[in-house]
Structures are given as C-alpha cells and as structure tokens.
Chain A
Amino acid sequence: MKDDSGIFAGLIAIFALCSVTAVGSATSTVPEMHRQVVDLRGWIDDHTFSELFAIAQASPGPNVVFVALLGHYIAGIPGALVALTAMCLPSCTIAYCTARLIDRFRHARWRIIAQAGLVPITIGLVASSALVLARAADRGVATALVTAGSFALCYWTRVSPLIALALAAVLGLTGVV
C-alpha cells in the first residue's frame, strides 16, 4: 500500500474522467485505466492488472466494480470506496438528470443520431480493452492457448462464460498453465 496522500486525488482524477468517458460500458475505459495506473503512475504492474480484472470478471455484479478492486489494491478499503465513488458519481448524476428530462427528447432526431454515432466508438473501445488485457495476460504459449480456447468457447458455443473461467481456474490449479 502506498502512503502518498496525493494518491486519493489521483484516484479521483483518473476514475472521474473514466466515468464521464465510459461510452457504452465501464469496460470501454479499461485501456485508459491501464494507461494511468500501470504506464503513467506505476501503481500496479501489468500482470496484476490483468489478474484483478479476471477476478472482477469471475464475480457477479456490474463490470464497474472492477474499479473497487483496483482501488483496494492501490490504497486499501478507502481506496476502493474513493475509486468507486469517483467512477460512479459523475455518470450517475448525468443519468439522474437525464431521467428527469427524458420524455422531451425521446423522439428527437439529434438524440437518435448521437446514439448511432457513438455505437462504432463503443465497439472500438471494447476491442481496445480486449487487446490491452490479452497482452497483459500473455505470459507465453500456455496463457495464449487459454485465451484462444476461452475465445473459442465463448464465441462458437452458447455455454456460460463462467464455464470458460472455471476451466481456466482448473488448468491453473493443476499446474498446466
């Protein structure tokens, strides 16, 4: 744990920015979180980042709780709460205000166009997250095969993604990976 008092200000700055730029889902800001906490500030190393993301993926609940896990690793329970609040408060405030205004704009042409214009950006961001995490998780042939296998299982079959995660855990536990 770091004792730098600026760390909370840093967490707030990073996640408040991610909150308002998370187009489509919290996962779309994973590359930015990685850039900030791994590349720029060096609070977490690459492997730990990908492992924490995996823990969050394997747990129930919205993707955004990954932020609590990151914050916890960086600065304990206060870090978790600060990071999660910074991540949720701005976007929730926007959602709340929108809910208040919404009926006026439901059929507005600009809303439909704006929504359509954001869709490809969301797709590009999710693909970026996938690339960043695949690189961070890559430790050689075995992990690359697990990534490929998990992709195949999730893409070509209709089994729950949890099956892929459970199989991977078993492979890790038995020392295959």
Chain B
Amino acid sequence: MLTKEEQPAPPAAAPPAAFPTPLQLLITFATISACSFGGVLAWARRIIVQERGWLSPEEFNEQFALCQVLPGGNILNFAVMYGCRCAGVIGSFAAVLGLLGPPVALMLVAGMLYRRYGDLPALHSVFASLAAAAAGLLIATAVQMVAASIKGRLRLHHAVAGLTFVTVGVLRWPLIWVLAVIVPLGIALAWWERK
C-alpha cells in the first residue's frame, strides 16, 4: 500500500489549522463517492492522501485498519471517524452526508427506472447478465481474500472461515446465531495462536 512518492504536500501546517471544515468534508466525501466506480477505498485514499494531503499514507492506513474492526461499511466508518476527528459530531455528519448523498440519489433514480422499465425483455436480459457478472466479481474478491489469508499454509483459523461459509452461505442459517458462536470462537483462536 505505501509507496515513497506519496508524501503529503503540506507538512508545515499546524495540525489544528490543517483540519478541514465540515463544508470541506462534505464536498470532499461527495467527490470521492461520485468518482468511486469499482471501489471507494482506492478513491478515498487517492483524494484524501494524494490530492488534499489531509492524512499521510501511514495515518490513512492506521485509521482505516480500525474501521475494519468495527461493524458496518469500512468507508462509512472511516467517514464518521475522520469527520469526528476534524470537526466533532458535525464533521461526522458532513462526511457521511457527502459520502451517501450522490450514490443514494443515483440509487433512487435507478430504482424508479427499474420499477418502470425492469420488465422490458431487452433490459431484463441486461440486468440478468449484469447480475451474473456482479456475482463473478464477488467470487473473485472472495478468492483473493482467501488466497491472501492462506499464503501457502493452512492454519486453524481458516477453519473459522470455512465454518462461517458453510453455515451462512451453504446452510443459510440466521447470521445472528452463527455470529454469536463464531465470533467468540474466532477471537479465542486468535488469542490461542498468539500465546
């Protein structure tokens, strides 16, 4: 993730003065969101680290790692936490509003078009084909995650991933009950593996 040429532009600014205002947060997160075809993370990083220089690459990774532990979408959590750091609760609201505004407006328009024209045969086969491709994309993501996690050697915690897949994906058990058992199990195993 980190490369040398991405040092942020303004290193001299005093930290409090360098924090963006709520309006800047709103505009920046709306820009990120509107650009972000094919994944928000890449665009968030590009705009916040490289273009605006609001965070160094290291700071960005640190903040983002934390967002992955918490429930909810990574980027959404990032917007809340970064907004909070910059301008408190108003900052969080501004960043989330910016992040969700453009795609939600687009979703509402798409939803209306789908309800009205979704039954046209030509469009129907476009959607069917798109759905199949979207599934392929997600399979690729899942396989990449599995490959990155295994890296040549299987360990006990991969059984946790397998168990989650079988119970939730194959058997379709309710998520809440699966998580109630598997989260303590996964954490206990992580503790045991690091002992």
Contact = CB atoms under 8 A, between A and B. Distances in A.
Interface of A: 17-27, 29, 31-32, 35, 39, 47-48, 50-66, 68-69, 72-73, 77, 80, 84, 88, 90-92, 94-96, 98-100, 102, 106, 111, 113-134, 136-139, 143-144, 146-155, 160-162, 164-165, 167-169, 171-173, 175, 177
Given A54-B133, A64-B73, A96-B92, A126 B138 contact: yes
Main secondary structure of the interface of B (DSSP, over half): helix
Given A19-B71, A98-B81, A124-B168, A58 B194 contact: no
Contacts of B146: 123, 127
Contacts of A114: 69, 187, 190
Contacts of B176: 17, 21, 32
A172 B129 contact: yes
A94 to B, nearest CB: 6
A153 B66 CA distance: 31
Given A23-B179, A61-B36, A117-B183, A54 B149 contact: no
Contacts of B94: none
A150 B145 CA distance: 17
Interface of B: 33-40, 65-77, 80-81, 84-85, 89, 92, 96, 99-100, 102-104, 106-108, 110-112, 114-115, 118, 122, 125-146, 149, 157-158, 160-165, 168-170, 172, 174-176, 179, 182-183, 186-191, 193-194
26 contacts: A50-B134, A55-B107, A55-B110, A60-B37, A68-B111, A72-B115, A84-B104, A88-B100, A94-B71, A115-B69, A117-B186, A120-B158, A120-B186, A123-B164, A124-B165, A125-B165, A127-B164, A128-B169, A130-B138, A133-B135, A139-B128, A143-B129, A146-B132, A147-B139, A172-B126, A172-B129
